[in-house]
Amino acid sequence: MAPKNSSLPDIQATPDTRGIDIDQVGVSDLRYPIQVLDQDGKPFPTVAKIAMSVHLPHHFKGTHMSRFLEVLSEHEGEVTMRTLPIILHDLKDRLDAEEAHIEVAFTYFVTKKAPVSGAPAKVGCDCIFKGTSSATQDDFVLCVTVPVTTLCPCSKEISEYGAHNQRGYVTLEVRPKTKAVGWELILIEDLIEVAERSGSAPVYALLKRTDERFVTMQAYDNPVFVEDVVRNAAAILRADSRVSSFKVTAVNHESIHDHNAFATIVGRVTE
């Protein structure tokens, strides 16, 4: 065994002669405890699945994978749109890279009260922070997937009683507008509200009989196709002065068909 103070060879830093840049190289599927901030600015602990990468110039043989973990360990106390640029800049500095990327996927829980009884319970939404830092700019995208109830307008119109409904999932990918420092603040809760306003009714974890009656009737009075869901959400996002661009995707897990239905709108907000 070599002495601890001996100089070990750094194979990753040795030259590569093939002359091919690598667009992204790094670590993925890394499960790691982090803290994000809730709407009140309080820490929300969760477990994330993280991918981090950098651009590797053609003259380097490899990158130093351990340095990704070193940077992440230094910032696990808060991973938010406020700290992502710092993490990305640290990655570029530590790995001598011109460009860095990070994706942080996690479950965020919101407490929802049943509409009549007021019984509280938590509903989980899948979220992703996507960050990129190049030589000229930083970029951030907030992605939130929200479960909703949708009731078919056609089924309601042609049936003598009842209508088929299903659980839908609305995924909102939103790029905030840039400010002098950072981006406009868009909360996860803001996007959850957009998604729930776009469907027939929200989804709850806990419902009493009076609540079930309320939600069932709410959905019946507000039928929407999957096309309506994405148009409803796009209209709300287009009117939001904090939004630069967005992508809305709705998927209905059909209850009477052996397939799902989906729709997508990609939009940019004009000044």
* High-pLDDT (> 70) share of the chain, %: 92
pLDDT of residue 17: 66
pLDDT of residue 260: 93
Closest CA to 189 of 130, 108, 107: 108
- C-alpha 243/C-alpha 237 separation (Å) is 7
Average of pLDDT values for 2-11? 62
- Which token pair is 114? 């049943």
- C-alpha 58/C-alpha 144 separation (Å) is 36
pLDDT of residue 53: 94
pLDDT of residue 207: 96
- C-alpha 100/C-alpha 90 separation (Å) is 9
Task: Give residue-wise pLDDT tens across range 37-52.
Answer: 899 989 899 999 999 9
pLDDT band at 75 (very low <50, low <70, confident <90, very high): confident
Q: Between these two residues, 152 and 76, which has the higher pLDDT value?
A: 152
The helix (H) or strand (E) run that includes residue 185 is none
Helices in the chain by DSSP H: which ranges?
65-75, 84-95, 153-158, 188-198, 209-220, 226-238
pLDDT of residue 63: 72
pLDDT band at 8 (very low <50, low <70, confident <90, very high): confident
Helices and strands in the chain, H and E counts: 6, 9
The helix (H) or strand (E) run that includes residue 57 is none
Residue 31 has pLDDT above 70, yes or no: yes
Output the CA torsion sign for 154, 155, 160, 162: negative
Closest CA to 247 of 134, 170, 150: 170
pLDDT band at 1 (very low <50, low <70, confident <90, very high): very low
Task: Give residue-wise pLDDT tens across range 76-101.
Answer: 778 888 899 999 999 999 888 889 99
Residue 64 has pLDDT above 80, yes or no: no
- At 181, give phi and psi (nearest 5°): -130, 115
Residue 269 to residues 18, 39, 172, 186, Cα–Cα distance (Å): 43, 24, 14, 15
Length of the chain: 271
Q: Between these two residues, 67 and 102, which has the higher pLDDT value?
A: 102
Output the CA torsion sign for 53, 54, 55, 56: negative
Task: Give residue-wise pLDDT tens across range 213-225.
Answer: 999 999 999 999 9
Domains with residue ranges and CATH for the chain: 17-268 (3.10.270.10)
Other C-beta atoms lying within 10 Å of the C-beta of residue 212: 14
Task: Give residue-wise pLDDT tens across range 103-133.
Answer: 999 999 999 999 999 999 999 999 999 999 9
Average of pLDDT values for 207-213? 97
How do beta strands 243-253 and 201-202 pair? unpaired
Residue 205 has pLDDT above 80, yes or no: yes
Question: Phi/psi zone of residue 191: left (φ > 0), alpha (ψ -120 to 50 degrees), beta?
Answer: alpha
pLDDT of residue 65: 82
